[in-house]
Structure formats: structure tokens, C-alpha cells
Structure 1
């Protein structure tokens, strides 16, 4: 689900928390050695996200926040911040050629460069956490 997360709105916050869980506590973040990604450079996206990104001439970047039941990919367009909310059971990650990762949810996708060790280390952490916390049956949801 693609949402405008620029403003504090209780309905949007509830939607996000219901989908991917509440944010980790400070203690949990410390134990995990951080939950946020470094700045990721976007190379390609689906048409809905591309239509938002072409509205300005800034460099297309995003970051990823891990949550207990999913991730939030945030990016900016004009003066607005958008979030692609992806629960772990709908998240597909592919490592492609030319040092890039592709993150999918249904018909949404974002391709990002993985040209540094920090980015590769973050995706390894993300994949390991996803493997440990993805529900294995419908009753676990």
C-alpha cells in the first residue's frame, strides 16, 4: 500500500501499525544494531511511484525502516513524503545484475543500487529477520 506519510494522521498511523506492526523500542533497536537502511539510490520503479518521482528534479533516493511484521520504504517527491508499506509475507526481494536489489509487493516494485558494503550488509540483516519472522501458515497472521 502506497501512502502519503508527510503529516501526522491517526488513521494512516493505525493503518501502518496494523499492517507492519508498531515501531521497535529503543532497546530492541540497540540490540539489532539499527533498523534503518543507509540512503538507497532508486534506479527503477513501477509506474505509480515513477509518476510521483518525476514531479521534481531531485536525486531519487529512499530508505527502509524495519518493523516487527514488515518494512516501510520511504521516499520524497516535491515536499511530500511517501511510504510503501510491505508486510513480510508479501515482500519479495531479488538480487539482480549490476549490483541492485528489487523489492516487490503485489504490483509495486522499487529497484535500488547495492554498490556499497553497508547496503549489502543491511539487506542481509533484512533477509535474515524476514526469514525468522514471516508467518508460516494463515493462522499465524
Structure 2
């Protein structure tokens, strides 16, 4: 689900919280050594996201936030901030030999460049957290 998260809208916040869970507390963030990733360069993306990104001439970057039941991929276009909401049960990650990660949710995808050790370490943390916390049964959803 692709949402405009620029403004403090209770409906959108509640929709994200229902899908991914409440944000981690400060204590949990320290215990996990952070829940965000470094700035990721977007190499390619699905048509819906690309239509938003071509509206301005800036370099396209995104970042990822971990949540208890999923992730939020945030990026900016013009003066707006958009979030791709991906619960763990719909999240797919592919890595190529050239250091490119592709993140999928249904018909949305984003390809990002992994050119530093910090980014690779974050994706290792993401996959480990998903393995420990993804639902195993349909009743867990």
C-alpha cells in the first residue's frame, strides 16, 4: 500500500499501525541498535512509484524503517513524503551479485544500491528480525 505520509493524519497513522504495529519504543530502539537504514539510492522502481519520482529533478533516495510486523520504505517527491507499507508476510527481498537489493510487495518494487557495509548490515538485521517475528500461521495475521 502506497500512502502519502507527509501530514499528521490520524486515519493514515491508524491504518499503518494496524498493518505494521505501533512504532518501537525508545528502549527497544536502543536494544536493536537502531531501526532505520542509511540513505539508499533508488535505481529502479515500479510504475506507480516512478510516476511520483519523475515529478522533480532530484536524485531519488529512500530509507527503511523497521516495525514489529513489517517495514516502511519512505521516499520524497516534490515536497511530499510517501511510504510503501510492507507487512512481513507480503515482503520479498532479492539480492543480485552486483550489490543491488530488490524489495517487493505485490505489484510494487524498489531496487536499491547496496554500496556500503552499513547497508548490508541493515539488510542482515532486517532479514533476521523478519525470520524471528513473521507470522507462521494464518491465524497470526
SS at match of 1:112: strand
Aligned residue number for residue 19 of structure 1: 19
Quick one: distance in 2 between partners of 1:99 and 1:68? Answer: 26
2:105 is the counterpart of 1:105: yes
Q: For each residue in 1:73-98, what CA deviation from the matched residue of structure 2 results, as whole angstroms up to 9, or x when unmatched? A: 00000000000000000000000232
Aligned residue number for residue 35 of structure 1: 35
Query: 1:99: how far off?
Result: 0.9
2:50 is the counterpart of 1:50: yes
Quick one: distance in 2 between partners of 1:68 and 1:124? Answer: 16
TM-score normalised by L of structure 2: 0.99
Tell me the matched-pair count: 141
- For structure 2, the 5+ residue unaligned runs are none
Structure 1 runs (4+) deviating above 3 angstroms are: none
TM-score normalised by L of structure 1: 0.99
Q: For each residue in 1:48-67, what CA deviation from the matched residue of structure 2 results, as whole angstroms up to 9, or x when unmatched? A: 00000000000100000000
Quick one: distance in 2 between partners of 1:34 and 1:128? Answer: 14
Query: 1:11: how far off?
Result: 0.2
In the TM superposition, 1:1-141 aligns within 5 A as 1-141=1-141
Q: For each residue in 1:7-33, what CA deviation from the matched residue of structure 2 results, as whole angstroms up to 9, or x when unmatched? A: 000000000000001100000000000
